[in-house]
Amino acid sequence: MIPLQAFRGRSLAVISAQCSLRSTRLFSVSTASQNAPASDPRTTPKKPHGIDPRWLTMTKRRIGRCMMFGLKPLQIQEAGEVLQQIANDWRELVAGSEGYLTDETRRGLFQQKVAWGEMFLTFTSTCLGHVNNVTYPRYAETARVYYTRNFAMHIDPAHKREWLNLVSSKGIGLILRSITIDYKFPMTYPDKVTVYHKLVHDPTSPKTPHHGFYLQAMIISEARQRPAARVHEDIVMYDYKANKKTELPPFVFEQFKATWKLQEQAKEFWQQRILDIETRVRTLETESWDREDAVEDTGSAK
């Protein structure tokens, strides 16, 4: 079992998919609704392939229903511990379970405030109530620059100058060939955004472009605690001196290989944490409202 701090602390920087851009129902683990038939508690949850965007909200509601029905002291303690874990690790549960590295030495943007001026305005200066769609590429571009600079400042300082040159027009640099954005919901002011990037393919895979690579980004609404947009970026490695495309430099290739391994480890680790939470919440349900002899605790009349 990989220790938790390996994916949350600074040690992540030194530990040695292509996902569908269109969002599917991110989590094959079901969430119980009030009218849904109870699932068999003996059934082992299947390994998740992703997390439902509303999984956090639904999990909190499920726990809330158990508490409203009535729990014993030990069950209340268990519910509190689960809620505390979700509160502490929600970014990792949402993004880490998809392979995004959320450590402070890896993230692009963190709790960037949404400005009122980023809202969509009509020619009469009337606010239509949501962040302008053209703002999301700026979030992604800014985060991508910081994603690259993180290699220079934290992960591979031995090649600091080379990494910094990648986001300039000196020597070998990065050019965005194309960007695709899948908007999930209209984000509004006030809010904050956090943006993570990840590699789409193992750099040793034949699916990786010969003269570049693909990145995916998750733009998260801190207020909603779920993705506001998903981004797919096609990056080209370009030699400005030779005026032509070029292959990934060896220092980039080696760091991307290590990063890919970390992504896979993070995905496995946080998906397992989700399954653990699902199991604990389901146990609370089957020990409270979702049992044959369940009687709601309405309090004493005395």
The pLDDT value recorded for residue 73 is 96
Render pLDDT for 60-117 as a digit per residue (tens, 0 to 9): 999 999 999 999 999 999 999 999 999 999 999 999 999 999 999 999 999 999 988 7
Question: Does 270 lie in the same domain as 135?
Answer: no
Mean of pLDDT values over 244-259: 97
The pLDDT value recorded for residue 152 is 97
Render pLDDT for 11-51 as a digit per residue (tens, 0 to 9): 333 333 333 333 333 343 333 344 434 444 444 444 444 67
Angle separating helix axes 73-94 and 55-69, nearest 10 degrees? 170
Q: Which comes out higher in pLDDT, residue 210 or 280?
A: 280
The pLDDT value recorded for residue 293 is 86
Which domain, by its residues, includes 186? 102-262
Asked if residue 301 belongs to a domain, the reply is: no
The helix/strand/coil state of 83 is helix
Q: Which comes out higher in pLDDT, residue 232 or 209?
A: 232
The pLDDT value recorded for residue 127 is 52
Asked if residue 5 belongs to a domain, the reply is: no
Mean of pLDDT values over 206-233: 95
Residue closest to 56 by CA, chosen among 20, 87, 101: 87
The pLDDT value recorded for residue 107 is 96
The helix/strand/coil state of 258 is helix
Question: Does 257 lie in the same domain as 279?
Answer: no
Return the CATH number at 215. 3.10.129.10
Q: How many residues does the chain have?
A: 302
The pLDDT value recorded for residue 36 is 39
Is-contact 248 24, C-beta < 8 A?
A: no
The pLDDT value recorded for residue 274 is 96
Asked if residue 83 belongs to a domain, the reply is: yes
Asked if residue 168 belongs to a domain, the reply is: yes
Question: Does 278 lie in the same domain as 205?
Answer: no
Angstrom distance (rounded) from CA 244 to CA 86: 48
Question: 108: Cβ–Cβ under 8 A, 6 or more apart, which residues?
Answer: 142, 143, 144, 145, 146, 147, 150, 195, 196, 197, 217
Token pair 């040690």 in the structure block, residue: 11
The pLDDT value recorded for residue 169 is 86
Total domains in the fold of the chain: 2
Is-contact 233 217, C-beta < 8 A?
A: yes
Asked if residue 270 belongs to a domain, the reply is: yes
Task: Check residue 54 and report its DSSP letter.
Answer: T
Peptide bond into 190 cis (omega under 30): yes
Q: Decide if pLDDT at 176 tops 70.
A: yes
Give the helix ranges, DSSP H, for the chain. Answer: 5-8, 55-69, 73-94, 135-150, 160-166, 250-286
Question: Does 257 lie in the same domain as 272?
Answer: no
| 67 backbone dihedrals φ, ψ, rounded to 5° | -70, -35
Question: Does 156 lie in the same domain as 139?
Answer: yes
- Percentage of residues of the chain with pLDDT beyond 70: 78
Angstrom distance (rounded) from CA 14 to CA 121: 45
For all residues of the chain together, what is the average pLDDT?
84
The pLDDT value recorded for residue 184 is 95
Question: Does 231 lie in the same domain as 112?
Answer: yes
Question: Does 120 lie in the same domain as 171?
Answer: yes
Q: Decide if pLDDT at 4 tops 90.
A: no
The pLDDT value recorded for residue 53 is 80
Question: Does 118 lie in the same domain as 42?
Answer: no
The pLDDT value recorded for residue 2 is 46
Question: Does 158 lie in the same domain as 194?
Answer: yes
The pLDDT value recorded for residue 130 is 82
Q: Decide if pLDDT at 299 tops 80.
A: no
Question: Does 127 lie in the same domain as 67?
Answer: no
Per-position b or e across 34-47, b if 16+ CB within 10 A of its CB:
eeeeeeeeeeeeee
Angstrom distance (rounded) from CA 50 to CA 267: 9
Question: Does 181 lie in the same domain as 107?
Answer: yes
Angstrom distance (rounded) from CA 174 to CA 237: 5
Q: Which comes out higher in pLDDT, residue 273 or 46?
A: 273
The pLDDT value recorded for residue 144 is 98
Token pair 């070029």 in the structure block, residue: 246
The helix/strand/coil state of 268 is helix
Render pLDDT for 177-217 as a digit per residue (tens, 0 to 9): 999 999 999 999 899 999 999 999 999 998 889 899 999 99
Question: Does 225 lie in the same domain as 107?
Answer: yes
Residue closest to 249 by CA, chosen among 215, 211, 278, 276: 211
Reported pTM: 0.80
Neighbours of 114 (CB within 10 A): 21
The pLDDT value recorded for residue 280 is 98
The pLDDT value recorded for residue 12 is 39
Is-contact 53 182, C-beta < 8 A?
A: no
Is-contact 154 165, C-beta < 8 A?
A: no
